[in-house]
Amino acid sequence: MATLWRLVMIGDAVSQEAYVRTLEEEAGAVTAFETSPQGPWRIEAYFETKPDLGRLAPPIIAAAKELRRPVPTLEVDELPERDWLAENRASFPPLKIGRFFVYGSHIADKPPAGAWAVALDASIAFGSGEHATTKGCLAAIEAIAKRRRIRNVLDLGTGSGILAIGAARAGAKRVLASDIDVASADLARINMRDNGVTSRVKVIAANGFAKLPPTRRRFDLSIANILARPLTQLATPLSRSVKPGGNLVLSGLLAEQETWVLRAYLARGLTFVGRAKAGPDTAGWRTLVLKRRR
């Protein structure tokens, strides 16, 4: 057991998703819940040491300004000694996302027969399966795998590695998963091992495409679940990474950012296929599926 620190802030139905994504890069666990029907959302992030507001506040402020929301107040308090991480993990029920079954180590029951099982615990890395963008990407992977065989996959911004594992479960023979954060990449490798897909998934720490091997038209499926601005900044290399006839899945963007992001990829010769459907709780976020014709 250990003392934990809690950071609390208030958002709304749209901004809370962006704040959660930002905090998950630093916190051990993050929760968000509606305090009243159609009312404010309370976001709580938990840390093993006192959070550094000088580092945490700027990305929160940037997210608020981008969404044209008031900058939230960040409140920090110290919590009494309890096994908070164990309690937090136990609060995560297994998730059924199409054929995917995402579950933590605290779940004793076996995955349903025929399910694509993904074993993950809540952690410092983004991607526990609960976020709208992760659900959208998993739904897109399943839909694409139903139409054709996927063999060679790029997962840019892998976080916990959930999408790379999902691609392997969907039949991919080779997956290259990268993340800008070294700690996330290290955790993703552990998750690959625990899911028995190490032989098919290579995880590296890289800033965008800086350390990736040559990727021009190499993948029949590329996935980038990051944020709208880096998606537009990486439009050229991401578009080039897809083979003719292959698909590109983009997520991490809000509904109002869709036109801006989509325009960048259509200008590079990709065709818009549609939006991944992953349930009503994904409203406000977009997962886009595109295709390279030639």
Q: Where among 89, 113, 147 does a domain terminate?
A: 89
Q: What percentage of residues in the chain have a pLDDT greater than 70?
A: 89
**Quick one: pLDDT at residue 186?**
92
Per 3-state DSSP, the chain is made up of helix, strand and coil in percentages (nearest 5) of 30, 30, 35
Judge whether 266 lies within some domain. Answer: yes
Give residue-wise pLDDT tens across range 161-183: 999 999 999 999 999 999 988 88
For 85, the domain range is 2-89
**Quick one: pLDDT at residue 181?**
86
Give residue-wise pLDDT tens across range 267-282: 999 999 999 987 665 5
Q: Is 287 helix (H, G, I), strand (E, B) or coil?
A: strand
Judge whether 110 lies within some domain. Answer: no
**Quick one: pLDDT at residue 227?**
86
What are the phi and psi torsion angles at 61 (to 5°)? Answer: -60, -45
Domain count, the chain: 2
**Other C-beta atoms lying within 10 Å of the C-beta of residue 259:** 8
Across-strand partners of 119? 103
Judge whether 23 lies within some domain. Answer: yes
Task: Check pLDDT > 70 for residue 1.
Answer: no
**Quick one: pLDDT at residue 91?**
61
Find the range with the poorest average confidence among 3-17, 84-98, 189-203. 84-98
Q: Are residues 283 and 199 in the same domain?
A: yes
Judge whether 103 lies within some domain. Answer: no
Task: Check pLDDT > 60 for residue 15.
Answer: yes
- Per-residue pLDDT, averaged over 180-199, amounts to 93
Give residue-wise pLDDT tens across range 127-140: 666 788 899 999 99
Task: Check pLDDT > 70 for residue 2.
Answer: no
Q: How confident is the model at residue 86 (pLDDT cuts 50, 70, 90)?
A: low
Q: State the Cα–Cα distance between residues 17 and 32, nearest whole angstrom.
A: 8
**Quick one: pLDDT at residue 278?**
74
